[in-house]
């Protein structure tokens, strides 16, 4: 049986979960990996990140790679295009969600809990997000879906990316750029009514609440310190 190592608040995992829900795949177990963030996890998974697809012990990292693999193994219903050109467009918009939005947001998110925020990092990465929301505004579908008038891999990448922008950018002192980008704002309002997007967003919000509670209680700082100490010890042993 296939297993997806995932976490509620992980936007990259959310992208694959939304694809699994939209395709109606029911034979992939979704679970949080044991030892996530600890040296033992990085020992087993060189990149050290989730999602990871476990194919009978063969570990496949990287959300985009997993997404394409799932399209090949479960071709129907397809979340790709009906022509090579449509598929290329879907992949372009999905890459905006991944590389230009999610990646910058993920790197930026540490600044929301930094006791002394690095304004240079916020300006650099936040500036990239604002610029690329404007780019997305010119490319995104105008009918409630990112591309092709139906749910595709582009929506699966954009939903967690826009969730992060809306919820994390204000915590580093920047305005959410979505309301100013009319087509993105209209898309964002519409896609949240899609059942697969709504299910994925509910998990992301559950993860965000859990994280905020851990931060409020001080447990998150302790977990981070324990992980840093374990990694330092593992480096010494190496
Ligand atoms: N390019 C990777 C990024 C995955 C990623 O950054 N995952 C985060 C959670 S959303 C993670 O596992 N971070 C752990 C770490 O940075 O040590 C993908 O597309 O899967």
Task: Note whether 106 and 186 are same-domain residues.
Answer: yes
Whether the CB of 11 sits within 6 Å of ligand 1:
yes
Can you give the pLDDT at residue 235?
87
Point out the residues of the chain with pLDDT beneath 50. none
The per-residue pLDDT for 48 is 96
Q: What is the pLDDT of residue 179?
A: 98
- pLDDT given for residue 1 in this prediction: 85
pLDDT tens for residues 31-50? 999 899 999 999 999 999 99
**So what's the pLDDT on residue 116?**
81
Boundary of a domain, candidates 73, 95, 126: 73
Residue for token pair 């994280």: 211
Tell whether 101 and 183 lie within a shared domain.
Answer: yes
* Shared domain check, 65 and 90: no
CA of 166 to the centre of ligand 1 (A): 19
pLDDT at res. 94: 98
Nearest to 207 by CA among 67, 32, 48, 24: 32
> 157 CA distance to ligand 1 centroid (A)?
14
Q: Which atom of ligand 1 is nearest to the CA of 42?
A: 17
Domain count, the chain: 2
Nearest CA to ligand 1 atom 5: 49
User: Do the Cβ atoms of 79 and 22 come closer than 8 Å?
Assistant: yes
Distance CA 144, CA 141 (A): 7
Per the CB < 8 A criterion, the answer to whether 3 and 31 are in contact is yes
Q: Mind listing the pLDDT tens digit for each residue in 105-136? A: 999 999 987 778 999 999 999 999 999 999 99
pTM of the complete model: 0.97
Q: For residue 8, is it within any domain?
A: yes
163 lines ligand 1 (CB under 6 A): no
């Amino acid at each position: 049986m296939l297993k997806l190592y995932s976490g509620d608040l992980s936007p990259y995992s959310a992208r694959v979960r939304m694809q699994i829900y939209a395709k109606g795949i029911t034979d992939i177990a979704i679970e949080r990996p044991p030892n996530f963030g600890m040296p033992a996890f990085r020992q087993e998974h060189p990149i050290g990140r989730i999602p990871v697809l476990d194919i009978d012990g063969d570990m496949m990292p990287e959300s985009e790679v997993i997404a394409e693999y799932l399209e090949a193994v479960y071709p129907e219903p397809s979340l790709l295009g009906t022509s090579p050109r449509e598929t290329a467009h879907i992949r372009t918009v999905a890459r905006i969600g991944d590389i230009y939005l999610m990646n910058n947001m993920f790197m930026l998110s540490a600044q929301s809990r930094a006791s002394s925020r690095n304004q240079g990092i916020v300006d650099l990465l936040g500036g990239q997000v604002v610029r690329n929301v404007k780019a997305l505004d010119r490319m995104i579908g105008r009918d409630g879906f990112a591309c092709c008038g139906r749910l595709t891999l582009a929506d699966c990448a954009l939903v967690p990316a826009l969730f992060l922008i809306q919820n994390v950018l204000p915590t580093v002192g920047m305005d959410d750029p979505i309301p100013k980008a009319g087509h993105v704002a209209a898309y964002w309002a519409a896609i949240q009514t899609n059942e697969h997007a709504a299910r994925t967003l509910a998990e992301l919000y559950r993860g965000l609440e859990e994280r905020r509670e851990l931060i409020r209680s001080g447990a998150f700082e302790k977990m981070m310190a324990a992980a840093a100490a374990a990694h330092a010890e593992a480096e010494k042993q190496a």
